[in-house]
Structure 1
């Protein structure tokens, strides 16, 4: 398949002859096409009429994802009877996988399938995984209860469903945002403004889905049953797929990129540089392949060897000879890598909200008056905090900071990330203090954990959104999607780091037993707070040396 081939939607149609010049104003000017691969009509395709379908599908996916992730640690400990440590590690590993698979989804969308087809295919995989998980809830009643083999079948079915869901979400997370943005022609002022609003509504739909999952669906799972609690989101995501496909005829589709996947281009530089490692770099940089005045930097000079032109008669392919521009794309990623690494500890901290902090909530008094608070519903405070802090940040903090810094955005992207890292360290110190007090008290209300969730929500507004801005803004236009994928990959790395830390700490110290009253979970929280402070210092050092 040629790199310049257009994105192929589900329907095909013969290509009509070019439109007359006087009718060009009827069509979009950004090269988008309709489902029949004809120039997209402004009046009948794209814009908000198409985004309603995309946002509907994204809302159902987020509702389904958070319905599983918010209460997964409870399911693993109470239904599959896993230990607290194993459940916390398995949750972190699964969530991490959910944020690794978007790299695969982005690659397939950019290189072969296009965003529309990728979303439709992966949504189908997602639904299949949810059907397996929902059906697995009936296995304890269908299989002999005392049989180790039956419990093994039940566990295998649950994890098969979980990792099919992780695979399915990988095709949705990187593509839904981009497909929604494709619906607006930036050459039209009104559509350019609407494109900015789309991101706000996209973020809003994610948080509303998370809020409903953390409250209504978690309550259904804890009080009515897991079958109903998983069947509801399964039905909703099936409806989301139907809604998404129904909008196919009014979407606008972008052609696949001429340069192919940016992940492929970067990989070609690494392979070509390794093959040419014994060659000497020329003194004249302009002698490198297709230099053409492209900006060249002296950092990471080893990778310049990928652009060395050899006077050899053998055929030179893209995996042996790359352009200077390709080399500089890889160097750009390497320059951003210290910032990316700093976010791993941050996401290891936020992973506590779906693992150890829920387990701590299960050991506390969850009665508030006559109402019983499910521990997984504590994440509601994180969501509410995000919804509160986003407008506060835009309307209050940015104008105040602008007067001090002179920056249009008030804070630089790196400053914004740093504030969130500091808040995450404070949240872990608070959680450690709460657990220390609980261990010395006869009973302690679960609501003492609410401030920790609220502070971590504020930290997400600074670090998570700042990171997305940074990794979208810094790369060149050809690598925007890869930058966003790297930001999502940091979430995966943080969850895997949390899983590794839990395993190492438990094997070395035994701080987190099944009965938390007999352990020292507070020591683990203090450890995470200290690690966060060290990470913040490393980030300050690296960010002060970073150059765009």
Structure 2
């Protein structure tokens, strides 16, 4: 049928078929973006106000409630690596996404039932952690979406744009979930407030299934990447006394058709000179020739060795993302502490300090189309690069922008302390104390953080996908989530270290309970210095880094 249809179209048949495939791919990607937005509406509809549910409905004290939320959020940030491993190793991306979406539906259903019938807290916890497990699909979804594009220049440009809009869809979901659904919970109760996320999760399953015929599925599951990595390490150690040849053509490689490797669905990778010790794993000795087929724990292909090299090259770049995340997380901690002391009045309405994070979300939603439609075309004309910037350059720009955000927050803190020293704390009509300085002076620092996200977080998504071996793209895409989780832990450790170091000899320290007695500005300067140091290390890593070279 396909051959007849193409032939009947004459000379333009291939163009029309390509156009039809492009439309189908665009439709599939659109469904994925809407699906992702629905998932994040559900997630933020559940997570944003979760601490209050623990306190009001489950009667937990403030510390227990905060710890419960922190533990759950931490679990939600780690489970994507498990889902990514499952996708790359056994199920493939399509079926992993399907499984996770179904688990999410079950989780939101249990949470809603618990809230509606006032069931025991154990039931609520069960639903909550089912959501954490089912919601682990983001890196797999991003990889699956990127799979919908080919390898030519125009397709790769569209793929780069997809990552921008994928992150945009996350922020649309967080905006709606963190505002509208939280308002529903406050105004109309928990059953409806949690029931809507449950319905949205069902709709996400329906939409994903509806796009099945439009998806391209490029990468089949190729077995455990951890096993392949372990085989390279073991084989290289066994052959520690073997000399790797200077002629890389003598190293062992699978001679598949169309540049394919022995790893299912994975293209061959070109040899690189970094980490030359690992090349010993691909040296075929007389003993290997005597054992046919040779054990994979003694003899590996060049592509398998290069898989491990790819991961080793990614790790230093990934480590720089931890410091970035540690500074980024201040929008939900020290930025809020700073805002709590400022004048919250907007007419007769009081603006809670935590609400100002919406300007970070709005900044992302502004910067994504601006970057995609204006910055990239301009940069493309200046640099000649199809993406405007290289992936490493894009992430580096974000590191610089976040440094500016920390400096902006520090400058505002200096100004706040000066106003405080001149006027002291004023008492509003509602009896609340505040520094006579509008809370909206914080908006610039939130907006700058949003710009940094668009450059670095989205750059990370594209970089980890593009530079990962074909059979490890979901796992490597999950590195961004792991860096974010570790960044949060690093921020907590940094605050603890600062408090214990500066609060000595009767001094309140930089971050006391009442920040008016401390020096939050010093903490922001410290973060800025860490960002500068991180950027310096990043420049060295970027210069050392060799981009992946696939053999077509």
TM-score interval for Structure 1 and Structure 2 normalised by the shorter chain: 0.7 to 0.9
**In structure 2, do the counterparts of structure 1 residues 94 and 281 end up closer, same or farther at CA, with 3 Å as the change threshold?**
farther
Conserved 8 A contact 2:164-2:458? no
Conserved 8 A contact 2:252-2:301? yes
Deviation at 1:345, TM superposition (A): 0.9
- 437-446 or 456-465: bigger deviation: 437-446
Task: Work out whether 1:59 is the aligned partner of 2:1.
Answer: no
Structure 2 counterparts to residues 250-261 of structure 1, below 5 A: 250-252=213-215, 254=217, 257=220, 259-260=222-223
Task: Work out whether 1:273 is the aligned partner of 2:236.
Answer: yes
Deviation at 1:372, TM superposition (A): 3.3
Q: Secondary structure at the match of 1:384?
A: helix
Deviation at 1:458, TM superposition (A): 0.6
CA RMSD in angstroms comes to 4.1
Inter-partner Cα distance in structure 2 for 1:446 and 1:325: 55
Deviation at 1:351, TM superposition (A): 1.7
Deviation at 1:497, TM superposition (A): 2.3
Residue of structure 1 aligned with 2:488, choices 495, 505, 508? 495
1:189-209 CA-to-partner distances (Å, cap 9, x unmatched) read 9x9998777556544432221
Cross-structure match for 2:524: 525
**In structure 2, do the counterparts of structure 1 residues 165 and 527 end up closer, same or farther at CA, with 3 Å as the change threshold?**
farther
Deviation at 1:238, TM superposition (A): 2.7
Deviation at 1:452, TM superposition (A): 1.4
Residue of structure 2 aligned with 1:344, choices 322, 327, 347? 322
Residue of structure 2 aligned with 1:103, choices 51, 73, 81? 81
Residue of structure 2 aligned with 1:125, choices 96, 103, 107? 103
Task: Work out whether 1:236 is the aligned partner of 2:200.
Answer: yes
1:386-410 CA-to-partner distances (Å, cap 9, x unmatched) read 1222333344444554565454544
Cross-structure match for 1:174: 139
Task: Work out whether 1:82 is the aligned partner of 2:47.
Answer: no
1:377-430 CA-to-partner distances (Å, cap 9, x unmatched) read 322211211122233334444455456545454433322222211221221233
Conserved 8 A contact 1:219-1:374? no
For structure 1, the 5+ residue unaligned runs are 1-18, 27-41, 143-152
**In structure 2, do the counterparts of structure 1 residues 318 and 338 end up closer, same or farther at CA, with 3 Å as the change threshold?**
same
Inter-partner Cα distance in structure 1 for 2:484 and 2:464: 13
1:5-26 CA-to-partner distances (Å, cap 9, x unmatched) read xxxxxxxxxxxxxx78546789
Relative to the length of structure 2, the TM-score reads 0.75
Q: Secondary structure at the match of 1:381?
A: helix
Task: Work out whether 1:458 is the aligned partner of 2:451.
Answer: yes
Conserved 8 A contact 2:331-2:446? yes
Inter-partner Cα distance in structure 1 for 2:114 and 2:338: 27
Deviation at 1:341, TM superposition (A): 1.4
For structure 2, the 5+ residue unaligned runs are 9-19, 256-267, 426-433, 504-509, 548-552
Residue of structure 2 aligned with 1:318, choices 296, 306, 320? 296
**In structure 2, do the counterparts of structure 1 residues 502 and 264 end up closer, same or farther at CA, with 3 Å as the change threshold?**
farther
Inter-partner Cα distance in structure 2 for 1:83 and 1:432: 29
**In structure 2, do the counterparts of structure 1 residues 505 and 318 end up closer, same or farther at CA, with 3 Å as the change threshold?**
farther
Q: Secondary structure at the match of 1:309?
A: coil
1:114-139 CA-to-partner distances (Å, cap 9, x unmatched) read 33322222123223333454566679
Deviation at 1:450, TM superposition (A): 1.8
Cross-structure match for 1:544: 543
Relative to the length of structure 1, the TM-score reads 0.76
Q: How many residues are treated as equivalent by the alignment?
A: 497
Inter-partner Cα distance in structure 2 for 1:367 and 1:165: 37
Inter-partner Cα distance in structure 2 for 1:247 and 1:411: 32
Question: Which fold has the larger relative contact order, with Cα–Cα distance below 8 Å and residues 6 or more apart in sequence?
Answer: 1
